[in-house]
Amino acid sequence: MIVWSKSASFRHCRASPVTKHTPRARLVSNSRPFRRAEEIIDAAARVFAERGYHGASTQDIADVLGMRQASLYYYFASKEAALELVCARGVEGHAEAAEAIVAGLDPPLGKLAKLIAAHLAPNATKRDYVKVFINERRYLPTASRRRIGRVSRRIEGNFERVIQAGIADGSMRRDIDPHLAMLSVLGLCNAVINWRRADQAMAVDSIAAQFATLLADGLATNCKRRPRKGL
């Protein structure tokens, strides 16, 4: 339940003001106390996604939760640790899903389509986490950036191997560089999370996946049209 209580002009009371205007949503749980940790990192994801890591303060996170800034430190050791947590959750499962697809029996082009769809799926289910991973992971301290980086590379590897396989079996053009192709596909996929929500609503699920498929088609050999050289 959400409770709006009155209190003082002091900073620490920020979360319980007597507001005159329509109150805004605050994330507060009164059931299932062991879920509290989830809520806290959820709030962090939300705030980091909205304002960027450096643009967000721990106070902002506390505000969303209706708790005091200091209390956050019961749940994470530092702001950077919170960022790593959010980023980690933002790629959680991506690599495994990709590997499962690559291990499957589809032809390379089919695999690529599936990889794209799988890569975009979490945009719908954990938007904020994915957005933070994409936009903010660069601000992680070296150690954890490397940890997260390993996951990124696993994902990229899967895309790249599929493209290589496509070139090898002749289903994709041989005039492309697999590495740059992979970067392009992922670049497009990752751009989606920053689209306006309305655009994204169309993209996530199906549409964007299909546009990505167009890219796969672009790579396909049975496309009569040749790229102009040296453009």
Partner DNA sequence: TATGAATGAGCGTTCATTCAT
Partner DNA sequence: TATGAATGAACGCTCATTCAT
Q: Hey, which residues between 126 and 185 contact DNA (CB under 7 A)? A: none
Helix 79-91 and helix 36-51, axial crossing angle in degrees, nearest 10 = 90
Q: Is 25 in the site for a copy of itself (CB under 8 A)?
A: yes
76 close to 39: Cβ distance less than 8 angstroms: no
Cα distance between residue 131 and residue 190, in whole Å: 9
Q: Which does 179 bind (CB under 5 to 8 A by kind): DNA, a copy of itself, none?
A: a copy of itself
User: Which position among 63, 69, 137, 186 is part of the footprint of DNA (CB under 7 A)?
Assistant: 69
- Considering beta carbons, is residue 135 or 158 the nearer one to a copy of itself? 135
Alpha helices in 25-126 (DSSP H): 36-51, 58-65, 79-91, 94-102, 108-125
Cα distance between residue 225 and residue 36, in whole Å: 56
Applying CB under 7 A, the span of 11-19, 90-98, 186-194, 198-206 interacting with DNA comes to 11-19
- Considering beta carbons, is residue 69 or 158 the nearer one to DNA? 69
Q: Is 14 in the site for a copy of itself (CB under 8 A)?
A: yes
* SS3 of residue 140 by DSSP: coil
Q: Is 74 in the site for DNA (CB under 7 A)?
A: yes
Centre a 10 Å sphere on the Cβ of residue 78 and count the other Cβ atoms it contains.
12
Q: How many residues of this chain interact with DNA, rule: CB under 7 A?
A: 25
Applying CB under 8 A, the span of 75-83, 96-104, 150-158, 162-170 interacting with a copy of itself comes to 75-83
Q: Is 163 in the site for a copy of itself (CB under 8 A)?
A: no
Q: Is 196 in the site for a copy of itself (CB under 8 A)?
A: yes
Q: Is 210 in the site for DNA (CB under 7 A)?
A: no
CA torsion through residues 151, 56, 46, 203, sign: negative
